[in-house]
Amino acid sequence: MTDTTKEYASEFPELPYEVWPSGQTVSKAGFGTYRIALGNDGHALALMKAITSGINLIDTSTNYSFGASESLIGEVMKALEQDVKRSDLVIITKIGYLQGPLLEDAKTREEAGNPYPDMVKIGEDIWHCIHPEILKAQLSESLRRMATPYADALLLHNPEYFFKDPSLSKELPLEEKRNEFYRRIRIAFECMEDMVSEGLIRYYGISSNSFPYATDHPEFCSADQCLAIANELSKDHHFQIIQFPFNLIEPEASTELNQENESLTLIEFAHKHSLVALVNRPLNGIRNGQLIRLSDKETVQLPDLEMIQHEVERIAHATHSFTMNVEALGVQDKEVENLLISYITSVNALQVNWNKFASMDDWTKVRDGMLGKMAVALTEINQVAKPQVQEWVLKVAGLTSKVVNLITRYYATISNADFQRVGYIRSVLDKTFPGGFTDIPLSQAALNAVRSIEGTSSVLIGARSVEYVDDVLLALQKKTSVYDRADWLGMKLH
């Protein structure tokens, strides 16, 4: 197989790359296609932008959009074939899940009396299998959809689903379950070694959500054990890649000592043994079953604080002469005059206290009281004052309304749960990595943080629009410090 990734990378000197064990030069961020599908022009444009901007790693799976993600990759490669060669790209696909049409085919085969072996029936709408018969059949379809004679890598897609098999006896000891699990891994590896020999793939690996788990977790998948199996098969094996979740909310890949008799973290193990370590879900952390988006792109933003201060000072200046000449306005009712003075005083006080209220409720009380005084006092002035004074009063009322709306938006924003979440994450990020990721969007900080630890090869981003691709490219161009397990423990502790 021809490799022109080095020549491709040389066209983008502003971006970081890494040379993989295969000899390929691969971008430090990859294009993930989890929610990408053929027929969506925005998705196609995003992938085109990534490929033509220096991102040459593409990650997909047979079950992403029921195969439509792979079909989109094939269409985009065809559209760009005059500018980008197949050998410029590193394309990874994964096999394991059976959903949609793939599941219906498996059910039809079973009804005909020819079921796939070692099938895990998780639920009515999802099965899972990594048996060689599935691997061979689905890889053939993947290559057809992508219109390519080979995939650079084939990964077993979350094989730990084996442990969710409802047919597994609850009385079966965990050790026996693990023996069967790794038996299935072994025969899959044997099959994929054959695929390498046939020129269908360059190398292979596993994508597992449970790689970073503690060793006593019932669904733990050991990278150490998988590498041992590959070494038993051949000293020249092609098990070269692992993929796993790693983000600011789930830092276990860099903090959990779960490899080589609990002496190394997953990322340390990958680095020691020259395994490609692919990070997925860098912007989607999961804690207590809740998805936490590590981006402030969709989060409500604070209004411009300098603008608020400017408007507050502007209205304070406008009311100053009013305070000095209140007797000349001709207000007959002393109570109304006092109310007017109280209103103006509260407006002037905003210069120093508009951002000092403890909560939205506290501000609302002050705001409502101020507006109530304004309404009564200004109504009286409009009845007795001269036309030019009335005009001035309308101006002040307009300025007051603008300032009040801006301040209300400010307190609504800082009370917003998503805003508070982002603020908390940023505070922990700044404490853990002082000065490392300040003054950049949270999405870029999250991406650069996970690629900052020695051992991560590339970070997969689900970029469904050109804007997301642009964000990734900007992040890649920023210099990052190198952090280690001790640094990342700061994230773990929160």
Closest residue by Cα to residue 407 from 342, 359, 375, 339: 359
Superfamily of domain 5-299+440-492: NADP-dependent oxidoreductase domain (3.20.20.100)
**Residue 389: Cβ-neighbour burial (10 angstroms; 0-12, 13-18, 19+):** middle
Closest residue by Cα to residue 94 from 233, 243, 311, 225: 243
Q: Is the dihedral of CA 181, 186, 187, 193 positive or negative?
A: positive
pLDDT tens column, 445-472: 999 999 999 999 999 998 889 999 999 9
Closest residue by Cα to residue 449 from 419, 482, 420: 482
Closest residue by Cα to residue 23 from 238, 317, 298: 238
- Amino acid (one-letter) located at 290: Q
Q: What is the pLDDT of residue 384?
A: 61
HEC per residue, 334-374: HHHHHHHHHHHHHHHHHHHHCCCCCCHHHHHHHHHHHHHHH
Cα 199 to the center of its chain, rounded Å: 34
| DSSP strand pairing (97-98 vs 25-27) | unpaired
Q: What is the pLDDT of residue 49?
A: 97
- Please tell me what DSSP assigns to residue 301: P
Name the stretches of the chain with pLDDT < 50.
none
User: What is the pTM assigned to this prediction?
Assistant: 0.81
Domain(s) of CATH 1.20.120: residues in the chain: 305-415
| CATH number for the domain running over 305-415 | 1.20.120
Q: What is the pLDDT of residue 302?
A: 67
**154: β partners:** 93, 204
Domain(s) of CATH 3.20.20.100: residues in the chain: 5-299+440-492
Q: What is the pLDDT of residue 389?
A: 62
Report the alpha-carbon angle 276-160-93, nearest 5. Answer: 45
Q: What is the pLDDT of residue 20?
A: 98
Alpha-carbon span 5 to 408, nearest angstrom: 54
Q: What is the pLDDT of residue 435?
A: 83
Alpha-carbon span 400 to 413, nearest angstrom: 20
At how many degrees (to 10) do helices 41-51 and 68-79 cross? Answer: 60
pLDDT tens column, 155-174: 999 999 999 999 898 889 99
Q: What is the pLDDT of residue 320?
A: 64
